[in-house]
Every structure is written in structure tokens, then in C-alpha cells.
Structure 1
Amino acid sequence: MSAEHLRLYSYWRSSAAYRVRIGLNLKQLPYETVPVHLLRDGGEQRTEAFRDVNPQGLVPVLQHGERLMRQSVAILEYLDETWPEPPLLPTAARDRQRVRAIAQAIACDIHPLNNLRVLQYFSHGWHVPQPERDAWVQHWIQDGFAALEAMLADHPSTGTFCEGNTPTIADCCLVPQVYNARRFAVDLSPYPTILRIEKACLALPAFEAARPERQPDAPEAS
């Protein structure tokens, strides 16, 4: 299927959008970035115009032709089914299950607890002080990473990457979450396997080009 007219509604620091950028880059699919600033003027994701694109008011959204795709992991699977090479999921069913389990451990169990809208509700709804908000984020990332490290370390299926020696959807999810962990000053030394896999990923041009600071809507470094 033609990759023409791929348009990604994105925010430079959104880890969910970061996942999809990695997937698009691994597939070597050209795409147009449509920035959606999640903080400016109360958040452009809350505007009526963007709600027409995604009623959830979330990024990313991938537009392929006239069809709008939502939810980052579902978008990654769509990319893999539509453009099978290089694959983002292994051939064997048990290996695909493991990749999906790792991806969902991040996308469903870690990331939602430190997402922007949760932290904004803590701030504006409950007036939780910043140190307590930071402690919340750090706790849930550490809790999730401890489980991920156990899933990855010394597992026979773990290779250069989360599953084997080619990147998968699991790696697309892992690298942005490590980025988030650094943002919130999480001590990553207890997770050597996670750090080793992240290093291997960032050595690849597809991951390097997807970095938040390399996005067209990223603020200029001062």
C-alpha cells in the first residue's frame, strides 16, 4: 500500500508519539509532522478542531489518506500489517505475545500513571505540590522498570533488543519511557538490561531521528 499522505499529529515530548516516530522511521516511511502543542494556550489538544481529529484529545494520531489512526501501539501494529518489512513483530506466536506483553507493560501500566493529563489534574484539580507529584512519577516508573528488568534480564529470548536481535514494538515503547524516566530524575542504575537495550536502540538512525529534541516542534536549545 502506498505510504503517500502519511501525516502524524504529534508533540515533540509525547512518549506515545515518540513510539510511532520510531516505528515510522524503522519502516523508512516518509511522513508529515503536524505539531499539537500540549501546553500552549491551555493545550491545543483540547481545541474543537483537534477533538474532531481525536475525540480523546490525545496524541499521536496517524492520518493515512482519509483514515485517522489512534492509540500508539495500535498504530504500530497497523504499520507492521500494512508495510511488513522490516517486521516489528516476530514470526512465532509466543514471541509476538512476549513483545506485546512488554509493550503493554509500558504503554498500559507505566506510562498512563505519569501522563501529562494525570499530572495536570494533580496540580490543578487537587493542588498536589510539585515534590509529591515528582515522587509519584518516580515511584511508578521504578515499580514498572523493576518488573521489566526481571522480564528482560537473562531471558533466553532477550537479545540485542527486547526480543531477539532486531527492534520490535517493545523497543519502540521502551526507549521513550527511559527518556521519561530521565526527565523525572529516576535512578536507572538498578536496570542494566534496560539501559543496554536503550543504548543499542539509540545507535540506530531510526531511533536517533525520533528523539524529542530532533523534532520540528522542539524548542531551540538555549
Structure 2
Amino acid sequence: MRLYRIRYSTNVERVALALAHKRLAVESIWVEAADRSEVVRVSGQELVPVLEVGDTVVCDSLAILSWLEQHWPEPPLYPPDRARRAELELFLDWFDRVWKRPPNELEAELQRPRLDQARIAALTGQLARALDRFEQLLDGRDYLFGDGFSAADCAAFPFLKYAAMRESDDDELFHRILHQRQPLGDGHPRLEAWIRRVDERPRV
């Protein structure tokens, strides 16, 4: 089993958390962001993560999580109940389609020759309000979907962690945006505790 990865990739960290949770051994193939030829050779596209298992190649972090669950169901990352699994999959879809939109648009906005400060403020506000939702979601539970670690935590943590921490040599613009424009403050104690809790979990 090989995992093609780039340092500090949020999407790679999703899979790194999942693989460690399932106690699966993996060979890490590190590639440079500026030279993704090896990723293209294996998968036909440039994005990481890419998981290679024998003749099977799986791209996209959420697709990899689902594939791992199908082939190594224990310990689980998805609920066994069909309705609860559907709820979790709706959360994953919401996170990638809705939550990630403001930081992606902020990244584009901050690279324009002339900044639209009103637009920047509006997008920053959307990120701040999302933190309130996560704080409420964690009321009475240790993880996003209950007492057990799940695919929801794998998917959200690599992005939400920047509200509380960032490695000093991680200079990616997208990560700086997440760190500077998600005001954790004192109003999100459950979210901060969750970030610390998940950060203590192993990764491959």
C-alpha cells in the first residue's frame, strides 16, 4: 500500500488519520508540489492524496476514506446504521462543497492586484460563523458524530486545526488564511478541546 503525499497537504492528512485509525501499514511516497509527475504517472491527474494498493489506484481524500472502510471495516470510520451513515456522508459533502468555499474564495481574492475589502470581510465572517456551528455540534460529545472518532473528524480536522495551531515553517497561503481568519477566541472551548483531542491521535 502506497500513499502519494505532499507535505502539509490538508487532504493528505485526512487519509493519514484514517490509515492510522485502521492500523494499516503504508509506504509514503513524498512528492514536491512543484513536480507532481510521479502522481500523474500513477493516477493520471495531479492532486494528492493518491492511494495505490496493488493494481488499484484511488484518488480524492473522501473517496479514499470510503474505499478504506469498504475493504477494512474495522475499526470503523462510518456508522453501521444506514441512516446515520447517510447523515455523515451529507456532512462530508457539506464540508467540501459549502464550508470550503469561503477559504478557497479568500485565497483567490487575496491574490488579486486590487483587494475587495468588503468581500474579504464577508468571507471571513462566514468562516467565523461556521466555527459557532462546530461548537454547537460538539455539545455533549467528544467527536463530531458522537463519542467515537469517525470520517467526519478525519475530513474536518486538517482544516479546522488552523484555528488553534500552525507549524512555523508551513507558509502555504491557504493555511495562513485558515489560521488568521478563523477567530477561535474564548467562545469555542468545545471546538478547541476537540482540535487538541484529534491532534493527539496518530497519523501514518
TM-score bin, normalised by smaller chain: 0.7 to 0.9
Q: 1:89-168 to 2 correspondence within 5 Å? A: 89-111=78-100, 113-115=102-104, 119=107, 123=111, 126-127=112-113, 138-150=124-136, 152-154=137-139, 159-168=141-150
Label 1:144 to 1:81 Cα distance change in 2 as closer, same or farther (>3 A): same
Instruction: State yes or no: 1:13 paired with 2:8.
Output: yes
Aligned residues: 189
Unaligned residue ranges in structure 1 (runs of 5+): 1-5, 211-222
Unaligned residue ranges in structure 2 (runs of 5+): 165-175
1:8–1:60 Cα contact (<8 Å) kept? yes
Label 1:120 to 1:33 Cα distance change in 2 as closer, same or farther (>3 A): farther
Instruction: State yes or no: 1:82 paired with 2:64.
Output: no
TM-score after normalising by structure 2: 0.76
Residue identity matched to 1:59: V
Q: C-alpha separation between the residues in 1 aligned to 2:78 and 2:25?
A: 21
Displacement of 1:80 in angstroms is 0.8
Displacement of 1:13 in angstroms is 0.9
Displacement of 1:7 in angstroms is 0.7
Q: Percent identity?
A: 25
Label 1:23 to 1:153 Cα distance change in 2 as closer, same or farther (>3 A): closer
RMSD (CA atoms): 3.0
Q: 1:3-82 to 2 correspondence within 5 Å? A: 6-38=1-33, 43-45=34-36, 47=37, 49-82=38-71
Residue identity matched to 1:144: A
